[in-house]
Structure 1
């Protein structure tokens, strides 16, 4: 019997990355989308561990061999932020229902400071403490799939791995969670929410 559900943020609590914001970043840099994504993700874990947006985008733009200034970096930070901050309301509604039924809730997310700052200022579900613990990589300077980030969440919840269900869209993160004993659900899209809901019908 589960006592807690632990959520990833990106593509689980949030929607998939917003396409037109990706296109806006590509248009600003004037390179192919494939090249952009390659360098965007090459340095992403460093950003998620806590380097500044300016440092992250300087690395990306230098790798892309693009001339840049501070104005361009500010625009990219803004589009990137917007691309990850559309929430999946159906998932949040389900989380609220779980909370009312006595389950503990957690988040483990790889998250850069710029996006997290916006979320903390604007998302009511973070302000009202819907989640019993929220673990963001930029705060700990540790990213999934490092087992330490999962263990920190479990310590905060005061629960064992077998008492928790972890939901993530990344196979790498799912496997790491399984290795420390967490129950896992590999989330692939909103159609999976019905399956999740059925797992908690009493």
Structure 2
């Protein structure tokens, strides 16, 4: 199949780093909350991301996991501030506009993101992903998270499309490789790479940008 074959009619979009971002980064944003109480902010974040993993697949609830994590680090009183940072995100307007333009051109666009239920519902309500996309695939709803190949297989079942008719855009190399392993077309892109790069990647798959 030619790389410029216009057979791609559905694009799956990651959220963090693609459609939304935390401009200062996790460590810089969390440091005012916990930096005066712990020496190793990055260590705290590493443990937090590991503890969050079961919540991404719906096996746990982050609002119950986070208090226990904070207590272990002696940060029990920092729950509200920590949750505020966890739920802080800024939309990438250029990418969102591109999604709208593709949909206007007849290309189906869907959200494909790893999120726990609390953050996912917050994103859905505050950033309007239900209106922005034709469909949304949150990991906590699917019961499996990227980069597990089963994540992409479940989406393909929902879409009822061959894998090579679907393009996936994500900023994480492991997720991109996993998608390709399932047969999807996939491109790695982060907001810092610039919109021109994203346009070039989409055009390579025959998309009208």
| TM-score class, shorter | 0.7 to 0.9
Partner of 1:31: 39
Aligned runs of 1:6-155 on 2, under 5 Å? 6-16=12-22, 18-19=24-25, 20-27=28-35, 29-50=37-58, 51-61=60-70, 65-69=72-76, 71-82=77-88, 85-124=89-128, 126-128=129-131, 130-155=132-157
- 169, 186, 191: which is aligned to 1:184? 186
Distance in 2 (alpha carbons) for counterparts of 1:25 and 1:160? 46
Gap change, CA 1:56 and 1:91, over 3 Å in 2 = same
Normalised by the size of structure 1, how large is the TM-score?
0.85
Gap change, CA 1:17 and 1:109, over 3 Å in 2 = farther
**How far apart are 1:29 and its partner, in Å?**
4.5
Question: Alpha carbon RMSD of aligned pairs, Å?
Answer: 2.2
Which structure features the higher share of helix residues? 1
Gap change, CA 1:66 and 1:190, over 3 Å in 2 = closer
**How far apart are 1:45 and its partner, in Å?**
1.3
1:71-108 deviation per Cα after TM superposition (whole angstroms, max 9, x unaligned): 422331122111xx211111000010100111011121
**Tell me, which stretches of 5 or more residues in structure 1 are unaligned?**
none
- Equivalent residue of 1:155, what SS? helix
- Equivalent residue of 1:184, what SS? strand
Partner of 1:175: 177
- Equivalent residue of 1:11, what SS? coil
